Every structure is written in structure tokens, then in C-alpha cells.
Chain A
Amino acid sequence: MKVKYFAWVRERVGKTEETIEPPATVHTVEELIAWLSGQSEAYAYAFEKPKVIRTAIDHTHVKSDAAIAGAREIAFFPPMTGG
């Protein structure tokens, strides 16, 4: 699946987007964040406060217990500050 990062999450991870293949044991957004956090210090830093991170699956806001099965694009970002 494709993963995108925005604002300070992007800066901390160090990339705009990538394609990842999490193991089959990763079912939810929360589990995906935990799995990514274990991949490197950059991810651990980006997701150090997982409750602050907002997630969208295929352009729709989702909660941390949302299932990632079938997702084409998952995006992680801080709370929005537009307007």
C-alpha cells in the first residue's frame, strides 16, 4: 500500500511517500503506526505521540482502530491548521 506523510510527520519520517508491505499481523491503523515505529528511529520520532497523529485512508479521515485491509493510500499527518 502507498503511504503519504505531511507537515512535521513528513519532515520527521524524511520522505513524502513510499510503498510498504506490513506483515499480515498488522490489521489496524494503530498497529500500523506501532509497526512503522519499530522500523527506524525516524519513524519512532514521527510517531512518538501516536494520539496526536491523524490518519486518512483513501482520502477519508479514520480513527486509530480502523482496519487497513483494502486500503490503497494511507496518509499520516498532524492536526490540520488551514483556513
Chain B
Amino acid sequence: MPSSVTTCPVTIRIQEDDFDIAREIAVLTKSRTDIGAVVSFSGICRADDDSAKIAALTLEHYPGMAEEEIRRHADEAVSRWPLNGVTVIHRVGRFMPGQNIVLVLTASQHRQAAFQAAEFLMDYLKTSAPFWKKEESASGTGWVEAHARDDEAAARWTKS
């Protein structure tokens, strides 16, 4: 029988404020001795989108549904992999290049589950969580279009 604690706290936050990755990892792992791996993914506002120079990015979301959609996929990740903790933070508002947009933390006893769950969560976050990006560049402002490659990335997790 495994002697480790098997609780899996799931934290989901949508906020305007920045996050501190080290602090979030510390919160996730505090007083835990069953966690052997933490994978962190952070999404950062880039200064360019293919050809255009981006001056700023505005993130809009659907309050209520965004949290629920992330929660549904976090719960699915917990059921698919032996996870010991999940944190997802998505920021909304206006961002300059170099600023943080999203953070996904997954904790497990071993690295493989943590890596896979983090990828799964990001793939679904990009394609099913109701957030939209608007770019500001020298040529004006425009909504970012969804990429087929993101749908393809999410489709690989579909159970056959």
C-alpha cells in the first residue's frame, strides 16, 4: 500500500494581478512530502506575432464559464493522471510584451504525469476556455484568430 498522502488540491484563479511562480510552487508543495515533481508552464506576452510588432495585448474572458471550463479540465486531468496538486492562474486585462499571462502548475510523485497533465491543461485552456486576445500594433488593433494547430494539439488527448 502506498504510504503517501493522495490528496490533490486544485486551485483555479482568474485575475488582473500578476503572479509569482516561485510563490505559487511554494504554496502547492508546502508541508507535502509526497510530491516528487512539479511542472510549471508560464505563458508570456510576446513582442511579435509572425510579422506584426505587438505593442500590447488585451485579454477578455467570460466570467463564470472560464473558471468552470478550467475546473472541468483540471478534474479530468486529476482523473487521468496520478496528480498531487494543480494550479491554474489566467490573467485578464491589458499586457505589455514580457508580462505574464498564464500559469499552469502540476504536481505528481513522478515527472511523466506532471509533464503530461500540464500539456493537457494548456492544450484545452487554449481551445476551450473562453478567453480572447486582442492585439495592438502599429497597424491598429485586431482580435487574434484561433489556430488550427491548437485544435490539433487538443485533439491528441481525446480518448479513443
The chain A residues found within 8 Å of chain B, CB to CB, are: 4, 6-8, 56, 59, 61, 75, 77-83
The verdict on A56 contacting B62 (CB below 8 Å), with A6-B130, A82-B132, A83-B125 known, is yes
Interface size in chain B (residues, C-beta < 8 A) = 29
The verdict on A59 contacting B131 (CB below 8 Å), with A7-B143, A83-B122 known, is no
Determine if A77 and B130 form an interchain contact, defined as CB atoms under 8 angstroms apart: yes
B interface, over-half SS: mixed
1/0 contact string of B62-75 vs chain A (CB within 8 Å): 10111011000000
Shortest Cβ distance from residue B103 to the other chain A in the assembled complex, whole angstroms: 11
Q: List residues of B (82-138) whose CB comes within 8 Å of A's CBs.
A: 90, 101-102, 122, 125-134
Q: Point out the residues of chain B lying under 8 angstroms from A78, CB to CB.
A: 132, 143, 146
Determine if A82 and B129 form an interchain contact, defined as CB atoms under 8 angstroms apart: yes
Determine if B129 and A75 form an interchain contact, defined as CB atoms under 8 angstroms apart: no
The chain B residues found within 8 Å of chain A, CB to CB, are: 43, 59-62, 64-66, 68-69, 90, 101-102, 122, 125-134, 143-146, 150
| B131 to chain A: closest residue by CB | A82
Shortest Cβ distance from residue A58 to the other chain B in the assembled complex, whole angstroms: 9
The verdict on A81 contacting B145 (CB below 8 Å), with A6-B132, A59-B68 known, is yes
